[in-house]
């Protein structure tokens, strides 16, 4: 049996809540540094992952970097997509989502063991959230089209390949492994 599938225990017999999505900083103030083509791929891939999570009754933690003037919103098309799924918003004031202690508390309450990371600023916010998730005992997966960096930063692909169930191809490859 595929190790990942066995570990995640996604089946009709077991609780699907072992997996959760983490949507990181999908805010207009960060997306504006991406090309329109890159934005489309990123959002389309995140839609597919949200559909997968919804079908498996898996929750989503939405991390939003808070500016001095308060909450900056996740883009409306993603907010609309997740509104009927079990989800919760977690403001953060630093790169890692785990700097907000409520995130860890809620993931433990949801009995999550594995996180699917989606989001922006893969060199900083996604990577440091992943580092802290690993320190807390979660396993993580993502794909090249679920996370992104602006054109000004080098995507830390090697780090994700070494530390995650990271798939360099498409989100479809990742979701097939999780089925």
Please check the confidence at residue 11 and state whether its pLDDT lies above 70.
no
Give the model confidence (pLDDT) of 102-119 as tens digits.
999 999 999 999 999 999
Please check the confidence at residue 74 and state whether its pLDDT lies above 70.
yes
Question: Mean pLDDT lowest for which of 47-51, 72-76, 114-118, 156-160?
Answer: 156-160
pLDDT value, residue 66: 83
Q: Over 27-41, what HEC string results?
A: EHHHHCCCCHHHHHH
Q: In the chain, what percentage of residues exceed pLDDT 70? A: 81
CA distance 133 to 127: 10
Q: What are phi and psi of 100, to 5 degrees?
A: -95, 110
CA distance 82 to 47: 9
pLDDT value, residue 154: 60
User: pTM (2 decimals)?
Assistant: 0.85
Cβ distance 20 to 58 under 8 Å?
A: yes
pLDDT value, residue 168: 60
pLDDT value, residue 70: 61
Give the model confidence (pLDDT) of 13-36 as tens digits.
333 449 999 999 988 888 888 888
The CATH architecture that domain 16-178 belongs to is 3-Layer(aba) Sandwich (3.40)
pLDDT value, residue 5: 40
What is 85-127 written as a DSSP string?
SSEEEEEESSSSGGGSHHHHHHHHHTT--EEEEEEE-IIIIIH
- The domain segmentation of the chain, as residue ranges, is 16-178
pLDDT value, residue 153: 55
Alpha-carbon separation of residue 107 from 20, 75, 136 (angstroms)? 8, 23, 11
Please check the confidence at residue 44 and state whether its pLDDT lies above 80.
yes
Q: What is the CA radius of gyration of the chain?
A: 15
pLDDT value, residue 163: 84
Mean pLDDT of 150-179: 74
CA distance 166 to 174: 8
């Amino acid at each position: 049996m595929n190790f990942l599938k066995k570990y995640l225990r996604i089946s009709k017999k077991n609780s699907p809540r072992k997996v959760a999505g983490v949507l990181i900083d999908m805010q207009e103030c960060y997306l504006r540094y991406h090309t329109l083509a890159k934005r489309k791929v990123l959002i389309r891939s995140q839609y597919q992952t949200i559909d997968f999570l919804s079908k498996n009754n898996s929750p989503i933690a939405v991390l939003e970097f808070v500016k001095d003037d308060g909450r900056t919103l996740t883009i409306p098309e993603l907010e609309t997509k997740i509104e009927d799924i079990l989800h919760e918003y977690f403001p953060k004031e630093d790169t890692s989502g785990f700097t907000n202690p409520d995130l860890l508390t809620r993931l433990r309450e949801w009995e999550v063991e594995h996180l699917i990371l989606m989001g922006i600023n893969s060199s900083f916010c996604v990577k440091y959230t992943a580092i802290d998730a690993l320190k807390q005992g979660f396993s993580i997966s993502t794909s090249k089209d679920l996370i992104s960096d602006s054109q000004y930063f080098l995507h830390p692909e090697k780090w994700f390949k070494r530390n995650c169930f990271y798939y360099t191809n498409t989100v479809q490859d990742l979701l097939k492994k999780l089925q």
